[in-house]
Chain A
């Protein structure tokens, strides 16, 4: 019997995909050393959250989820502006963006 593609993509596929994206982002956050890359991993996680919102919203037949992911994007934009400004000041004062080296405070 040949492999049959489903006519409609089930909700769980979207959810599993978003879970994988989220975990990939979390992994990157924990293992990368470059601060900008670490920040990009957070964006990846937020993006996975948006996918989850939209998928549920579509399955529930409501528009609320669209609004939530819209707010998540606004917040992500605000976070990016402030975060990148902070990263730039760190770079100006230390000339490095390796996260291990930003540790003058005691651990």
Chain B
């Protein structure tokens, strides 16, 4: 316990990115009433600047790793990795959303402020080393997300998305909290390192049935948040109903942060219980892949298709998690980074094609995109091929590392079934590509406007990241490999 109330400068430095983003969000809210409705994009620039500065501060704080604020936070390579990831997703989301909001006449400071606040929550989820801190970070991220999902509040689809996200999210939170309460009861602590030592200590080893109950409740809460089967059913409705740029954000930022939390809980605090967790994760990973891929086959709406595809991708990450190993964690981290870039990139193109009020979100609406706008079609093709897992793209190495780890650790059946699943997934991704290039553009739909600069920048940036990770995977993998050492 620190002697005084004042935290040290070192601790404040480790928490600097979050503090900066909070200040920037508050500043945006203060400036909002003084900004005329034509000039709201200035606030977007401010948010963008804050995110870039936070990226810089993350790099600075990574130079001096260690705990902060009585071990509430642990700034290590693992946390830094996910901080970088969610901040990058935030930058891309702002680039995608400015034009979308302006064209609908919905641009306002609240959107950017809530986005920044949500990212603060995700940064906390990435670095928290204590269950209560994790929970509060999760709620900061979630409550801001509920509002973002229903941001265009006169749109019925937005309403429904927000309502479902909110009700099921709170339900999941209650389960997570009940799990935390039981964990606190049986170990006497909520600090993940102390939970680990309490579970390892044979003298005080708690009752197995009770630890199983605590684990089960925690698992339900976490599985909801990463949309793993059998708790994935909210994902398609929420993703379909939310505004397209917000869906891009949901499918990447909160998901990566939720996985960061999942990885940290399973691989540190509950690592002594890995025998008990393994069958649970095994079944959930398989079910998530199967449900995601089979449901995606039947979809005609692109947003819904990508929602199911994001469920199946969560399944692949769970395969890595099932191995309960350091290399598994590194593979999961690499995969999440690759997944974030390719998925946000794909949603950037969808945002562009959907146009105002999202009237064009069916797969059929993509027909002829290859001739109408070859650049956009080409970029979407890159992202879809990467999601499929074609070599030279990030998605290929992501899947490769995950299945390699699964084979190395003796999960042969899970690896085989996962590979079969990703072969199946190729069908629905390629179907979209075929529609783009082989089918003629529909008549009388009006001209597709040129892409907005922000969307183009986000899509090109994501494509570069996708290729970079596909051509030089070791650059990121080395970092992930260093980060995962905290788990051994």
Contacts and interface: CB of A to CB of B under 8 A. Distances in A.
A35 B269 CA distance: 36
Contact of A105 (B136, B166, B182, B237): B237
A29 to B, nearest CB: 6
Contacts of A57: 184
A107 B16 CA distance: 43
A40 to B, nearest CB: 11
A4 interface: no
A72 B177 contact: yes
B190 A45 contact: no
B430 to A, nearest CB: 23
Interface string B114-153: 0000000000000000001001100100010011001001
B160 interface: yes
A102 B160 contact: yes
A35 B159 CA distance: 13
A104 B177 contact: no
Interface in A36-70: 38-39, 42, 45-46, 48-49, 52-53, 55-57, 59-60, 62, 64-65, 67-68
A93 B159 contact: yes
Interface in B157-191: 157, 159-164, 166-167, 170-171, 173-174, 177-178, 180-182, 184-185, 188-190
Contacts of B301: 106
Contact of A68 (B146, B157, B190): B190
B313 interface: no
B156 interface: yes
Given A49-B174, A86-B163, A93-B159, A71 B135 contact: yes
B150 A64 contact: no
Contacts of A42: 167, 170-171, 174
Given A68-B132, A68-B184, A86 B166 contact: yes
A105 to B, nearest CB: 5
A80 B167 CA distance: 11
A107 to B, nearest CB: 8
Contact of A53 (B150, B184, B236): B184
A90 B163 contact: yes
Given A48-B178, A52-B182, A35 B132 contact: no
B173 to A, nearest CB: 8
Given A46-B177, A49-B178, A103 B160 contact: yes
A46 B174 contact: yes
Nearest to A59: B185
A7 B185 CA distance: 23
B310 interface: no
Interface string B450-487: 00000000000000000000000000000000000000
B304 interface: yes
- Bin the interface of chain A by size: 35 or more
Best-buried of B143, B153, B177 by chain A (most CB within 10 Å): B177
A83 B166 contact: yes
A65 to B, nearest CB: 6
Contacts of A67: 132
Contacts of B174: 22, 25-26, 42, 45-46, 49
A59 B184 CA distance: 11
Contact of A104 (B153, B157, B178): B157
A9 interface: no
Contacts of A55: 185
B443 interface: no
A83 B170 contact: yes
B354 to A, nearest CB: 15
Contact of B167 (A39, A68, A72, A106): A39
A86 B184 contact: no
Contacts of A103: 160
A10 B132 CA distance: 26
A38 B167 contact: yes
Nearest to B131: A68
A20 interface: no
A56 B163 CA distance: 34
Interface in B188-208: 188-190
A68 B190 CA distance: 10
25 contacts: A15-B185, A22-B178, A29-B171, A35-B163, A45-B171, A46-B177, A49-B174, A53-B184, A56-B184, A60-B188, A65-B184, A72-B177, A79-B143, A79-B166, A82-B143, A82-B166, A83-B166, A86-B150, A86-B163, A86-B166, A94-B159, A102-B160, A105-B241, A106-B240, A106-B304
Interface of B: 132, 135-136, 139, 143, 146-147, 150, 153-154, 156-157, 159-164, 166-167, 170-171, 173-174, 177-178, 180-182, 184-185, 188-190, 236-237, 240-241, 301, 304
10 tightest A-B contacts by CB?
A: A56-B185, A45-B174, A52-B181, A49-B177, A89-B153, A105-B237, A90-B159, A42-B170, A75-B139, A86-B162
Given A79-B143, A83-B166, A83-B167, 19 more contacts: A15-B185, A35-B163, A42-B171, A45-B171, A46-B174, A49-B178, A52-B185, A68-B184, A71-B132, A71-B135, A75-B135, A78-B143, A79-B139, A79-B166, A79-B173, A90-B160, A105-B157, A105-B241, A106-B240
Interface of A: 15, 22, 25-26, 29, 35, 38-39, 42, 45-46, 48-49, 52-53, 55-57, 59-60, 62, 64-65, 67-68, 71-72, 75, 78-79, 82-83, 86-87, 89-90, 93-94, 102-107
